[in-house]
Chains A and B, each alone.
Chain A
Amino acid sequence: MRRRSTSVVRESVRLLQRVGEYAAACVPFACVAMALFVARDVAASPMPPAAENLRLEDAPDDAGGVLVVFWKTPDPAASAGVVIERSLTAAERAKNANELWIEVERLGRDAVAGVDGSYVLKGVPSDEDTRVRVSILGTDGELSEFVESAPARPEVSLFAFKRLPLLLTVIVVSLSVLVWVALARSGRPLKIRRIAALDAVDEAVGRATEMGRAVLFVPGIQDMNDIQTIAGLTILGRVAQTAAEYDARLEVPTCRSIVMTAAREQVQAAHHAAGRPETYAEGNINYITDEQFGYVAYLSGHMMREKPAACFYMGAFYAESLVLAENGNSIGAIQIAGTAEPSQLPFFVAACDYTLIGEEFFAASAYLSGERDQLGSIKGQDVGKAFAIGAILIGTALATIAALNEGGSLGMWAGSAVASMRGFFGG
């Protein structure tokens, strides 16, 4: 047994010696092959040229924390991408003293397709300097030398200049509103067209009184931070005053707690204004639930059981609009709706007797108040609309000229004018 194992060991050693001799003989050949291979590789893919004109600048018009990296790619055809690294922040250096740079992004071919490249670096601390370094990635995966930028810090802008056109628009609209308010105060006659839906309020409440049934007012499903809810509650004031004068029962189920409180204030004030404070019943204005369809389920059931003679839907509505309007229709109620949710307008128009469409809904508050100041503001709003119509007409005319006279001097002028308009309006 021992003799057999000794011979196996001896044979193994001999075999290894033989392999070693062959290997030693192959080494010079291998070295030559490797040298040739490396030489060929180096000749085929030289290191790509490094990025040029590297700049690191603060991004304009922002709340800080953002820098923009700009560079030039010397040979876009030979570049496959770019690697961007930034210097470590003080906090990062405290954790990892051995590193100086951290890779931020490895961008693909798109980033070096042209000579000019840029990258937005976000989340940069504003209380210390930051540097970046950039390396161009060659088509064979070779990296160029890193080029380092000068240090920069992000700054908080005082004013967002990119929003200047919008600010100018806001100023024009606001000034026109204010000018018309002033004109109205000075006694200038104002002609506001009649809004049938609001004129029908008396009819609806009167009918409910005659039938001895309630008036239902739904102020939408959004909270008080939605301007539509505020507009709805303003109309509630008028409906409540008419109801108080007629001694009709007004019910206001709400979807939000704050809306309930605000609605109570409105209705109470309306009863005071009508000279009937004793008829105000707080219990008719209740909070139901925040849950959209839970609220709709309550309203549907309530409408089928109580059969109110007049239903008002004034505020922000979504999928529930048709459910409410169809239920109201099935019980034969007079229905008046108002919303600025464009997608729900068709449903209200189809199923209600009157609908306040978009801006009419917002104008209702001023219309109902009858105050000259407020009516003047509607006129001012019309100036804004004229501004929009003018811009649309001019833009359409210019775009048409540009299309009809493509290549001609007039067409090119019109095209550049359209581009300027697009730039101004952010289109």
Chain B
Amino acid sequence: MKQRNEQLPPGIRGFLIRMGQIDRRWIYLAVAVAIAAPMLARLRFPEVPGRMAQATFDAIESIPPGSRVLIAYDFDPASAAELEPMANAVLHHCASKGHRIALMALWPLGKQLADDAIRDILLEYHPEKVEGVDYVQLGFKTGNEGVIKLMSTSIAEAYAADASGKPITQIPLLEGVRTIGDFQLIASISAGTPGAQQWVQYGDSAMPDAFKFVAGTTGVQSSQLLPYYPKQMEGMLIAIKGAAEYEMLVTEKYPVTRSADRLALGRERMGPQFVAHLLLIGLIVLGNVSMLAARGWKGAAR
């Protein structure tokens, strides 16, 4: 095998070795181009819905219209790029199916993201929805997993009023709702702690089988949550890919007449991901070719 290296012209070998030690700033530049170019060109690729996206879709479909659904915005703008598309799609799906939706946040900035979703998704595509009857914004509550624990014994103790200050006893949607067990489905769009894992540990375990639970997570966090699927979590949307697949399912069944850009964010963002992944594969190949050029096959296999 050593001869193989000797067969490489020294110029090419030297070039390959140098490429293996390329300054990381060139890599940063390549990543910037790989992300920006498809974004500007609005590249889109067809998606085939996976099992988890289908399971999430089925979970929301399986409960009868008019069911109460709690959507927890457990993320902030830092991870909004990854999680907002699925949050939008879940909200649109629940509203289209006729569920009554309560929104809340365990992250301080999650409340503002939920406000944006009410404005841009709920009222944009479902202008007939009435606040307090069809949806309610509970807002942010400090206390992390303590809030979930509290809500599993009494929602009124965690949220005396909704985000606008209206007592929850005067909100028709929450009439008869005492604990999270009175919701038929809970969805946590989660970027970390507190998030989906805490909903499983403190919500689902406190009252197993009382409600269906689905989660949307970042790609990084997904490995931590996979052990909970499908027993504790009926469905799971993982990163942009999961959002794009789920968007497909939702918009196919519940198409919108107005501009559907906000319900296509996942598929739009798969464009940059597509090119960036190819770049990563290219970089890994380059790194290995360079290593082989420097060491030869025998050295590499040691």
Contact = CB atoms under 8 A, between A and B. Distances in A.
Interface of A: 63, 65, 104-105, 108, 120, 122-123, 292-293, 318-319, 330, 342-344, 427
A188 B139 CA distance: 58
Contact of B153 (A65, A105, A318): A65
A281 B193 CA distance: 34
Contact of B223 (A65, A105, A343): A343
A318 B79 CA distance: 12
B220 A427 contact: no
Given A65-B153, A123-B179, A342 B223 contact: yes
B44 interface: no
B64 A120 contact: no
Given A65-B153, A319-B192, A330-B24, 16 more contacts: A104-B176, A105-B176, A120-B181, A120-B207, A122-B178, A122-B182, A123-B178, A123-B179, A292-B78, A318-B192, A318-B193, A319-B220, A343-B220, A343-B221, A343-B223, A344-B220
Interface of B: 24, 64, 78-79, 153-154, 176, 178-179, 181-182, 192-193, 207, 210, 220-221, 223-224, 231
A104 B123 CA distance: 31
A331 to B, nearest CB: 12
A106 to B, nearest CB: 10
Most buried by B among A122, A319, A344: A122
B181 A122 contact: yes
Given A122-B181, A123-B179, A342 B224 contact: yes
Nearest to B66: A108
A120 to B, nearest CB: 7
Contacts of A65: 153
A105 B176 CA distance: 8
18 contacts: A65-B153, A105-B176, A108-B64, A120-B210, A122-B178, A122-B179, A122-B182, A123-B154, A123-B179, A293-B78, A318-B192, A319-B78, A319-B220, A330-B24, A342-B223, A343-B223, A343-B224, A344-B220
B188 to A, nearest CB: 16
A63 B153 contact: yes
Nearest to B223: A343
B252 to A, nearest CB: 27
A319 B210 CA distance: 33
A330 B207 CA distance: 48
Contacts of A293: 78
Nearest to B178: A123
Nearest to A330: B24
A105 B175 CA distance: 10
Contacts of A122: 178-179, 181-182
Nearest to B207: A120
Please give me the 8 A-B residue pairs with the lowest Cβ-Cβ distance, nearest first. A123-B178, A122-B178, A343-B224, A318-B192, A343-B220, A122-B179, A342-B224, A343-B221
Most buried by A among B78, B79, B153, B231: B153
Contacts of B221: 343
A88 B221 CA distance: 46
Contacts of A292: 78
A326 B221 CA distance: 19
B258 to A, nearest CB: 33
Contacts of B182: 122
Most buried by A among B179, B181, B220: B220
A293 B77 CA distance: 11
B99 to A, nearest CB: 14
A108 B178 CA distance: 19
B144 to A, nearest CB: 10
A319 B182 CA distance: 34
Nearest to A103: B176
Contacts of A342: 223-224
A191 to B, nearest CB: 30
A312 to B, nearest CB: 22
Nearest to B79: A319
Nearest to B67: A108
A362 B224 CA distance: 19
A137 to B, nearest CB: 14
A292 B207 CA distance: 32
A172 to B, nearest CB: 21
Nearest to A162: B208
Contacts of B223: 342-343
A105 B178 CA distance: 12
Contacts of A108: 64
Contacts of A319: 78-79, 192, 220
B168 to A, nearest CB: 13
A343 B221 CA distance: 6
Nearest to B25: A330
A258 to B, nearest CB: 16
A391 to B, nearest CB: 16
Nearest to B191: A319
B59 to A, nearest CB: 15
Nearest to B152: A122
Contacts of B179: 122-123
A122 B206 CA distance: 13
A293 B182 CA distance: 36
A293 B231 CA distance: 34
B45 to A, nearest CB: 26
A427 B230 CA distance: 12
A104 B178 CA distance: 11
Contacts of B24: 330
Contacts of B231: 427
